[in-house]
Structure 1
């Protein structure tokens, strides 16, 4: 007589305990973290993404998680990182998510201000787009290449490699962004793989009477205006957007440097669960499609417009910070830019 009552009792007690421990689907966070995030109900997002794009991303996130209010703090990469480090060192962490350029994001990582977090959504990201310890994951990419004014340069004469602009035929025709050391660093480490070759290349480039300018967008506008014929280090994604709007520009797709903008989780984030939910959504399919919708280059494989991507790429991530001082000195010594 006890058997019939024992079986249903076991089944009844097993059912409620099984649900909370059910494994999350691939790429998703566990239910407990998501529930805690909704209870927190807010997060603060520090980013260098321009304000319109950041607000679009937040609005898309809120379609998935309307319970989590996002406060935006948008500044330039250098300024947002400086603010975060100052606050964190003072014991007042206000940021729940920090997202900005790789070499800048390396600074708080080196200071020990970032905690490990491996977003499930990034499981299939290639190794060069995430840190093995989980200290950073690429969220979006910048394409740095060579652009040209299509009224001044015929397609058949356009550069096919970074070395092409070392040719004396380009003397007096090259624009360059005056602080673009990150492109040099990536080429030195991943293309030339030799400091003597890098130095030789830079000297030949310098001999071609470069015209330095501040800001990639501003320099691209000078190219469009016909001030010079080519732009070393132009942002490919921005060039493509300008070309679509009718500007006489195109860019090299045979090779290019990919710069990384990474998303990280600060130590002491006041809303740590909401931060994890935001980062995981941002790196997942919906978040990365939102990045692509703003004509930017999402890091998640398979979502970026393949027409934008160079065939050969050299990825510059946060690990480059260790060599930055050396190549910054080389850049300034040889090119004369300060």
Structure 2
């Protein structure tokens, strides 16, 4: 379902010449798919900016190319760099990118910059309500489930923190890590704890034990496996689960 929805949105972004009278992204006629495919094949290629993992988005791009015969040119970077490139190019009058796939906060910034196109698609009905924005200019293509992950050779299960306050315990000195751009995670934590309490707790953690700041969730997860970061606060659970399945000394909670 996810791949099908994503492919449909890609086609909607590509087919600039498919419908003469109506914006192809908004066309809802019975021949919608046929017109979109024709327009996409006329363009011949799609330029995609994404922050998704290479293996994951690569599988989607390959399926798209095989099904529709349209080449996908993919540029991958962190979410903030994806946003920066799209905005910078637009301000310079260069409109290379066809589709942007990245985290929700950055996608909403593209909406605020008036760089996104509203898309109507029958596949939107397949998505959970939270994935659809009222303005219809972007939809969620993935759920980022944040988790804490630890190296099972360096951290005992019975020593794991039961609350964020526990991270100020001396046993965690020099052992904590976090991803550099997880503002959405921090907002969620503060919403749960309350902003004043959340700020106080994390100031106490940093003052007592420090927190290593790394860029990239995959890198952070790999550093847990290597033991450089025994306990990471903001990994994506699926990546930790993948490495665990491969026999790596990692567990998440």
Which residue number corresponds to residue 224 of structure 2? 223
Among 46, 50, 53, the alignment partner of 2:49 is: 46
Among 37, 61, 65, the alignment partner of 1:62 is: 65
The answer (yes or no) to whether the contact 1:152–1:229 under 8 Å persists in 2 is: yes
CA deviations over 1:67-105 (Å, ceiling 9, x no partner): x22222333322232222122122321111111122222
Which residue number corresponds to residue 147 of structure 1? 149
User: Following the alignment from structure 1 to structure 2, what is the Cα–Cα distance between the partners of residues 218 and 38?
Assistant: 37
Quote the offset at 1:249 in angstroms.
0.9
Matching of residue 177 in structure 1 with residue 212 in structure 2: no
RMSD: 2.8
User: Following the alignment from structure 1 to structure 2, what is the Cα–Cα distance between the partners of residues 37 and 226?
Assistant: 47
The answer (yes or no) to whether the contact 1:48–1:77 under 8 Å persists in 2 is: yes
User: Following the alignment from structure 2 to structure 1, what is the Cα–Cα distance between the partners of residues 34 and 30?
Assistant: 9
Instruction: Give the number of the structure whose residues are more often strand, by fraction.
Output: 1
Which residue number corresponds to residue 10 of structure 2? none
Among 34, 48, 53, the alignment partner of 2:37 is: 34
Which residue number corresponds to residue 114 of structure 1? 116
Q: Map 1:213-292 onto structure 2 (within 5 A).
A: 213-215=213-215, 216-227=217-228, 229-252=230-253
The answer (yes or no) to whether the contact 1:130–1:138 under 8 Å persists in 2 is: yes
User: Following the alignment from structure 2 to structure 1, what is the Cα–Cα distance between the partners of residues 75 and 177?
Assistant: 30
Report the 3-state secondary structure (helix = DSSP H, G, I; strand = E; otherwise coil) of the residue aligned with 1:114: coil
Compare CA radii of gyration and give the structure with the larger one: 1
The answer (yes or no) to whether the contact 1:146–1:159 under 8 Å persists in 2 is: no
Long gaps (5+) in structure 2? 1-27
Which residue number corresponds to residue 212 of structure 2? 212
Distance 1:61 1:178, change over 3 A: closer
Alignment TM-score, normalising by the size of structure 1: 0.58
The answer (yes or no) to whether the contact 1:171–1:207 under 8 Å persists in 2 is: no
Query: Which protein has greater RCO, CA pairs closer than 8 Å, 6+ apart?
Result: 1
The answer (yes or no) to whether the contact 2:165–2:205 under 8 Å persists in 1 is: no
The answer (yes or no) to whether the contact 2:168–2:209 under 8 Å persists in 1 is: no
User: Following the alignment from structure 1 to structure 2, what is the Cα–Cα distance between the partners of residues 53 and 43?
Assistant: 18
Distance 1:71 1:224, change over 3 A: closer
Distance 1:106 1:244, change over 3 A: same
74-83 vs 48-57, which moves further: 48-57
User: Following the alignment from structure 2 to structure 1, what is the Cα–Cα distance between the partners of residues 195 and 29?
Assistant: 53
User: Following the alignment from structure 1 to structure 2, what is the Cα–Cα distance between the partners of residues 146 and 115?
Assistant: 36
Long gaps (5+) in structure 1? 1-20, 253-338
90-99 vs 203-212, which moves further: 203-212
Aligned length in residues: 224
User: Following the alignment from structure 1 to structure 2, what is the Cα–Cα distance between the partners of residues 214 and 110?
Assistant: 28
Alignment TM-score, normalising by the size of structure 2: 0.75
